Amino acid sequence: MDVTSGGESSVWISSFSVYTVTTILVTLVVLAVVKRYNFMQRCNKVLGSPTEIPLFGGGSMIFVPPEEIMNLLLLLHVVFGRLSPSGIIRAWIGPLPMFFATTAEAVEAVLSSNKIITKSREYDFLHPWLNTGLLTSTGSKWQTRRKLLTPAFHFKILEDFVHVFNEQSLILVNKLNQAVAKDKDLNIFPFVTLCTLDIICETAMGRNVEAQSKTDSAYVQAVYNMSQLIQHRQVRFYLWLDWMFKLSSHWPEQRKTLGILHGFTNKVIQERKAEHQQRSSDIAEPSKDVTEDAVFSKRRLAFLDLLIEVSQGGTVLSDSDIREEVDTFMFEGHDTTSAAITWSIFLIGSHPEVQEMVNEELDRVFGDSDRPATMADLSELKYLECCVKEALRLYPSVPIISRTCVEDTVIGGDEIPAGTSVSICSYYLHRDPKYFPDPELYQPKRFLAEHAERRHPYSYVPFSAGPRNCIGQRFALMEEKAVLSAILRNFHVQSLDKREEIILLAELILRPRDGIRVRLEPKKKQ
């Protein structure tokens, strides 16, 4: 018997196994490399910045500081935007391709599509706070929620919020008077931000957190902290991966902050539900068919009231569903409006002739009265609305809108591969001289009806457009006019900063890095 034959057989089998495994691994690597190469070749067919690192993408945009993002995007749009016949250009952010729609025609192809409605990966960082509410959901869930929530923003519902705008604007004016008594020069941004936070808390949840009076509120601080955490992660490529983020010091801070945010919202939901049950205890069970008439049958004290009403005891919306929509409204309706109001103050305060026309309109509507604004008054402030819209043209609250293509998509002859994102940088779209001559000039008259109706409908998209346009844009414009009219009825504003000196941060919203300095001169009451 040959005792060595078994050993030789084992060695042979072992060698064969190693060879097989190695061959499989090498084949998989080669296939992965070929797949990656082919993917990059497809992406690079679209005009854009060159690939800096073979099979990886680009390294220069990974660690761009927040204050340089707008300059980099400007360079991208200037160099390639005018050369692209399709209106689509491309850049590499590390290994990820990013496509931009740069013309109104290309933007229309993206935003008007019923297929390109899924938000891009950048919105995933909002999920821990907002889960998949109206802003971040997609598909049938988004369509159902959109239909369900649309009545909440009807004219008759919004009219009930005017008293909140007035009350909080009065507090803001008093706070500004106190500050001006010490120093007429101040940074207006934090004052406006606290005011809009008070407004959104009361209109969304029916709770006054007194942000303007109690700046040490745990909830108020949590809103700020969560926004900063999201912004911090958004601009740092190495924190995009969940496991990397969870290894960072920001992870325990986020968990603590979410505990405060969700705990507060959950508590308010339970309190409001108890109040509803108490009020309806002696009333017959409402119809399960929710109509606009049913919505208007009782005055809605807050956005939360509508959600509780349509939840039908949890059969349509659970408590967690209600919370994600309330949290979404809190997020969307806070920083965006504070930015729009602040930029409007800055631009009006930089143009005395515009401020004079605003004052003439305010005098025409309010006279010398100190009475609060009504819905009819706000509707009469046509020129002030033009001022806000022109401010949103130059400084859109949300400077970049992004969508994910769930399937291969052709726009203007250029193919965008499935799984990649296409973005609209409204900051540059709004500066297209084809639709806005002398685009850097602040000219509110651009938005008088006779001028606006002649422009391409997708050349101006501060509230997005198409099926996923902002559901709360009418609410936002009402709030912005109410707060601005209160400030300008009480103060003459002089902006102390020059536009070219302001450093922009393109984060969740477009904000001035160092705030906005203004000089406020109280108006003498006759």
Residue type, 134: L
Residue 314 DSSP symbol = G
Cα–Cα distance between 424 and 464 in angstroms, integer? 9
Rounded to 10 degrees, the C-alpha dihedral 54/58/60/65 comes to -150
Long-range CB contacts for residues 274-282, cutoff 8 Å, separation at least 24: 276/305, 276/308, 276/309
State both tokens at 68.
């340089």
In order, the DSSP letters of 422-482 are EEEEHHHHTT-TTTSSSTTS--GGGGSHHHHTTS-TTS--BTB-GGGS-TTHHHHHHHHHH
Q: Is the Cβ–Cβ distance between 489 and 378 less than 8 Å?
A: no
Phi, psi at 95, each rounded to 5°? -85, 0
Half-sphere exposure of 482 (CA within 13 A, CB side): 30
Cα–Cα distance between 126 and 135 in angstroms, integer? 9
Cα–Cα distance between 68 and 108 in angstroms, integer? 28
Closest CA to 129 of 272, 323, 392, 351: 323
What's the start-to-end Cα distance of the chain, in Å? 121
Beta bridge partners of 504: 512
Helix (H) or strand (E) holding 89: strand 88-93
Number of helices followed by number of strands (H, E) in the chain: 21, 12
Radius of gyration of the chain (CA): 27
- Indicate if the alpha-carbon torsion angle 466, 472, 476, 479 is positive or negative: positive
Q: Is the Cβ–Cβ distance between 398 and 72 less than 8 Å?
A: no
Distance of CA 503 to the CA centre of its chain: 20
Three-class secondary structure assignment of 153-173: HCHHHHHHHHHHHHHHHHHHH
Pairing of the two strands 96-101 and 510-512:
unpaired
Residue 405 annotated as part of some ligand binding site: no
Cα–Cα distance between 127 and 43 in angstroms, integer? 28
Residue linked to tokens 């009006």: 348
Annotated binding site for heme: 470
Annotated binding site: 470
